[in-house]
Amino acid sequence: MNKNFAIAIHGGAGTILRSQMTAEKEKVYTTALESCLQVGLRILQSGGSSLDAVEATIIELENCPFFNAGKGSVFTNDGKHEMDASIMNGANLDAGAVAMVQRIKNPITLARSVMEKTEHVFLCGEGAEKFARSINAAFVDDKYFFDQLRYDQWQQVKDTGITQLDHVDEKKFGTVGCVAIDMHGNLAAGTSTGGMTNKRYGRVGDTPMIGAGTYANNKTCAVSCTGHGEYFIKAVVAYDVACLMEYKNLSLHDACNIVVNEKLKTIGGEGGLIAIDKNGNIELSFNSDGMYRAHAKSDGVIKVEIYK
């Protein structure tokens, strides 16, 4: 066992400009990111597993109303909150995911339960909720998810047929995610989202799709994505980064750069990802104006950033 570990989180990417951010708002986001990161960091510092660190960190992000996941989830066209999440264990490629779940307090925990308590990887909608009830997962009332800003965003577009990204004015892709490597060298990744404002027809993005929005393999890296999900699905982004490392022997930096700044951009995909490789190297790559992000290593240095 070596004593090195690392963790990184994101809270969404997109048109996040300093000119549109007040000092107060910036402080709110950076403080929230750091406090969420600290949760996972403490687990890793005490010798805990990357899987536990990833889940605990994302629970904290889901419980924070500033991010489009869990409590801060956006409204669908029907005025509901449909959430997606996935988690993956790099040690054995076990994975769990849920999509289109409602009233689940912490979708990331339900995704982990799918991984550990069923023979399946991916459950959705009513079936996922039925499973959640069978294991006594935490449900909350619809009003738990109510946020005035999210409600106002929905009101602006609900009769237009337009599907909005997280923030109407800022064009922000709202997702939260975490990647980590623990002292035992095990990698893990997780991602959670409330999707797009005014989404219809049971739309699901890349977040719960293993290989598209989330991937972890001890041989290579752990990846969590945030962006315009349709493009991340088409480009199988998270797995593509791992593939370039495994089959082309590229470094994490080069693999992320090719996928985010070349392959994704070529097809019109905007957003970014966080990744950690088996040696604890961290990459936070994005082709948008900004990405809410934070990371830390065993040396104790914590970095929190928003803009390019």
Which amino acids are annotated catalytic?
175
Distance separating alpha carbons of residues 161 and 64, to the nearest angstrom: 29
Q: Count of CB atoms within 10 A of residue 74's CB?
A: 28
Question: What region does 293 belong to: left with phi over 0, alpha with psi -120 to 50, or beta?
Answer: beta
Helix axis angle for 125-134 and 107-117, nearest 10°, is 80
Q: Which of 221, 231, 230 is nearest to 267 (CA)?
A: 231
- The structure tokens 């899987």 sit at 51
Residue 32, classed as helix, strand or coil, is: helix
116 phi/psi in degrees, rounded to 5: -95, -20
List the beta bridge partners of residue 30: none
Alpha-helix residue ranges (DSSP H) falling in the chain: 23-45, 50-62, 107-117, 125-134, 148-157, 229-234, 237-248, 252-258, 264-266
Contact 263, 4 (CB under 8 A): no
The span from the first CA to the last CA of the chain, in angstroms, equals: 35
Contact 257, 271 (CB under 8 A): no
Q: What per-residue string of b and e applies to 285-298 under the rule 16 or more CB within 10 Å gives b?
A: bbbbbbbbbbbbbb
Distant-in-sequence, close-in-space partners of 165: CB < 8 Å, separation ≥ 6: 14, 171, 172, 173, 174, 196, 197, 228
